[in-house]
Structure 1
Amino acid sequence: HLMAYPSGRVPLYSHRDVAEALGSTLSITPKLRDRLMLIVDAVPQFVESLSDQLTGLGYRVVIARSGTEALEKARRLQPCVIFLNPLLPLLSGWDVLTLLKSNPETQAIPVTITATVIDEEQALQNQADSFLKLPIQPKELKQTLQHLLVTSKELDPHPPANNSLTLLHLFTNQTSNRTELSDDSHLNRLLQARRYRILESDDLEQAELLARVWKPNVVLVSGDLDNPMEYLQQLSCHAMLASLPIVTLDQKTTQAASQISGLLVFPCLVGTDSKTLEDDSPEISTLLQVIQIAAGCVWRPSILTVNVSTLPVSIDNDICLDQTDETVGQFPKETEWLQALLQYLQTAGLRGLMGRSWQEVIQQLESQSIDLLLLCWTETDPQPDVLAKLTELQALASKPPIIVLDHRNSELESTSFLALPEQAQQLATCILAPPTSMTELLDAIHQAIAQKSG
């Protein structure tokens, strides 16, 4: 069935349509890599020191400065390790530890108490997974992380299935209506019972960060919106969120999403009221099947594109994407070409991403979440720091295929014959020089990925 909207048509799935479509649904899901750490501390110098150390080790860091904030972020973000200082305002760290370990949603997350040595015995008595003495030393931190991350995977009694999916659930309620919130919670419980990993967010900036860290398969939008068009237009400005399939649960949101170019929408208009959604109900069965179709239709190789000349070393997580684009915009023609390339990759069945910093690029390669790296080369005389970063990439133990696009000014005949720096040549799986058509580039991408897979 097709639902007609001003900008085109959107598939509307019935029970029978979904059952037939599942026969050709892909179920390939990559192994998720735990890269997010939660620091719970009210002392600025301790927060800064630990955050710098974790960032230096390639982890993403989220900070909570109170007990209630810690409990909420632990539940929603599901970090791989929580670093908890017992000295917190109002709700103490010991109470936070007890609540974390008594909640089924957070009890499996390893918690490391960070305190003075006199608190070590109490930490272990209160079910802490490990203890670090303040100030934290780099060697001890690395040993603790190695132990926690290995042990937590070995002891997990319910490891995710190989074909499990990760959903990013966006709450869009603009009122404090408890009935709506309870419906969302009820829906999450039903999904978790079927081994789905659920990420939650009611803020698009936070959701974009979650999407970059956890690489969800599907975005699920629920709740009442006064202005769904405005909300979804804001969503479309977040590159990672906009690249994911979106499952909508009501007609108003579906209609708005269908009118925004670039969004891939999968409506499921069966209703999500907690009174109708039960374990064996046709409504929950249809929703689960639409989610699987959305994930199967969109799973595709991830291509990370980088403008080598303008890429900063690092970027603050709080900087918005618009500001990042202004930084990259020092070479507007090249940036415009890369943005056009991203759209082309999307239409060709690939997931196109644009690197925001060398730090982020290296983190994504280390986590093996990228299938191919595309380096766009524009400078005849590259800066020393660029060459140093290429050497750092070369030293990585495992890296995807790397295609270098030689976009130095080909109008000058002398540059057409200049060899790329040795670091780039050693790193490249393939070097493409102009003129290179989009079709030729796409062929090179598929060939490089196929060779790596083989």
Structure 2
Amino acid sequence: MQQLSQTTSLADLPLITLTADLTRAANQIPGLAVFPYLAMIAASEDGTLPQPDMAELIQIMQLAAGVSWVPHILIVDCGAIELGEPVAASRPPVRALVQYLQTAGFRSAVSHSWEKVQHALQHQSVDLLLFCVTPVTSAAIVTQMVHSLQQLANYPPVVVWNYHSQTVTSASEASEWNRVATRILPPSLSILELLVQINQTLAESRQHLGATQR
């Protein structure tokens, strides 16, 4: 990687990485534009390297070449909304997620205010709404957010991630989220696996949008 970064003609090119080790090494070198193939990285965690899905790989190549749209993900830190905390107080899993999203080539923003989330959905381009839920997220807050989303004519795909690995989303809370959620993810999911789910959700959304526009 060091030799690559020292070769001007190569260092200026986007770099697509297929393993976690390559991604970590590339991200440690300033100036390299790294685009990890997340689905393959997750599948290769057991030490094997599977064959890449050509459709997915082409999408990553398009993104790396700058000929594809860059998805905007709005992250809702539900625990912070409940406690009225500022964005700077985001918990470590949420901060780590933002860094991973940036590394993966996404645009993202964290919101601790439901009013600001509603404003963004109405006035900005949001491609996916990611709710990060915690044990302190009350049923009343969940109901309020779900009801507000249902009042919108259109809202983006919704992914719900419980980032407390020891806490299972209750049946009543899951039932409430199911009114708007595209995916409710298990608490055992790692951030890398979460990114794979985000990619799949965005791909399905794009396919659905393309089909409705034909």
TM-score when scaled to structure 1? 0.30
The alignment covers a number of residue pairs equal to 155
Q: In structure 2, what is the equivalent of residue 306 of structure 1?
A: 76
Tell me the alpha carbon deviations over residues 115-160 of structure 1, each in whole angstroms, 9 at most, x when there is no partner: xxxxxxxxxxxxxxxxxxxxxxxxxxxxxxxxxxxxxxxxxxxxxx
Deviation string, structure 1 residues 189-238 (Cα, Å, up to 9, x no partner): xxxxxxxxxxxxxxxxxxxxxxxxxxxxxxxxxxxxxxxxxxxxxxxxxx
Q: Is the 8 A contact 1:312 1:357 kept in 2?
A: no
Change (3 A) 1:432 1:444: same
- Out of 189, 197, 202, which is 1:449 matched to? 202
Residue matched to 1:364: 120
Matches within 5 A, 1:79-118: none
Instruction: Output aligned runs, 1:31-430, within 5 Å.
Output: 296=66, 299-311=69-81, 324-326=86-88, 329=89, 335-379=91-135, 382-408=138-164, 410-411=165-166, 415-416=167-168, 418-419=170-171, 421=173, 422-430=175-183
Higher helix share: 2
Whether the aligned pair in 2 keeps the contact of 1:313 and 1:357 (CA below 8 Å) is no
Matched, 1:440 2:193: yes
Kept in 2, the 8 Å contact 1:343–1:352? The answer is: no
Higher Rg:
1
**Per-residue deviation at 1:434?**
2.2
Residues 383 and 438 (structure 1), Cα distance of their counterparts in 2 relative to 1, 3 Å cut: closer
CA–CA distance in structure 1, aligned partners of residues 169 and 140 of structure 2: 22
Structure 1 residue 10: Cα displacement: 11
CA distance in 2, matches of 1:366, 1:337: 27
SS in 2 for 1:306: strand
Give the percent of matched residue pairs that are identical in Structure 1 and Structure 2: 36
Pick closer, same or farther for the CA change 1:387–1:336 going to 2, 3 Å: same
Corresponding residue SS for 1:360: helix
Shift of the alpha carbon at 1:336? 1.4
Q: Distance in 1 between matches of 2:7 and 2:79?
A: 40
Structure 1 unaligned regions, length at least 5: 1-7, 22-260, 265-294, 315-322
What's the CA shift string for 1:93-120, capped at 9, x where partnerless?
A: xxxxxxxxxxxxxxxxxxxxxxxxxxxx
Q: Hey, what does 2:51 align to over in structure 1?
A: none
CA distance in 1, matches of 2:192, 2:98: 14
- Which residue does 1:207 correspond to in 2? none
Q: Distance in 2 between matches of 1:10 and 1:356?
A: 43
Length-normalised TM-score, structure 2 = 0.59
Q: CA deviation at 1:344?
A: 0.5
Whose relative contact order is higher, 1 or 2, with alpha carbons under 8 Å and at least 6 apart?
A: 2
In structure 2, the partner of 1:194 is none
CA displacement at 1:390 relative to structure 2: 2.1
Q: What secondary structure does 2:130 align onto?
A: strand
Task: Give the alignment's Cα RMSD to 1 decimal.
Answer: 3.7
Secondary structure in structure 1 of the residue aligned to 2:105 = coil
C-alpha spacing 1:417/1:360, structure 2 compared with 1 (3 Å):
closer
Seen in structure 2, the aligned counterparts of structure 1 residues 302 and 313 have a Cα distance that, compared at 3 Å, is farther
1:441 Cα deviation after fit: 1.2
Consecutive unaligned residues of structure 2, counting only runs of 5 or more, are 14-29, 34-64, 208-214
Q: Kindly tell me: are residues 368 and 325 of structure 1, through their superposed partners in 2, closer, same or farther at Cα, counting changes over 3 Å? A: closer
Residue 304 of structure 1: how far off its partner (Å) = 1.0
Structure 1 residues 387 and 9, CA, compared in 2 at 3 Å: closer, same or farther?
A: farther
Alpha-carbon separation, structure 2, partners of 1:368 and 1:305: 14
Quote the offset at 1:381 in angstroms: 6.0
Q: Which runs of 4+ in 1 moved over 6 A?
A: 8-12
Residue deviations 1:8-36, cap 9 Å, x none? 77979xxxx9xxx9xxxxxxxxxxxxxxx
1:312-336 Cα offsets, whole Å, 9 max, x none, are: 799xxxxxxxx9335xx2xx6xx21
* Distance in 1 (alpha carbons) for counterparts of 2:204 and 2:66: 23
Q: Report the CA distance shift for 1:365/1:400 in structure 2 as closer, same or farther (over 3 A).
A: same
Contact 1:373 1:400 in 2 (8 A): yes
Partner of 2:45: none
CA distance in 2, matches of 1:384, 1:348: 34
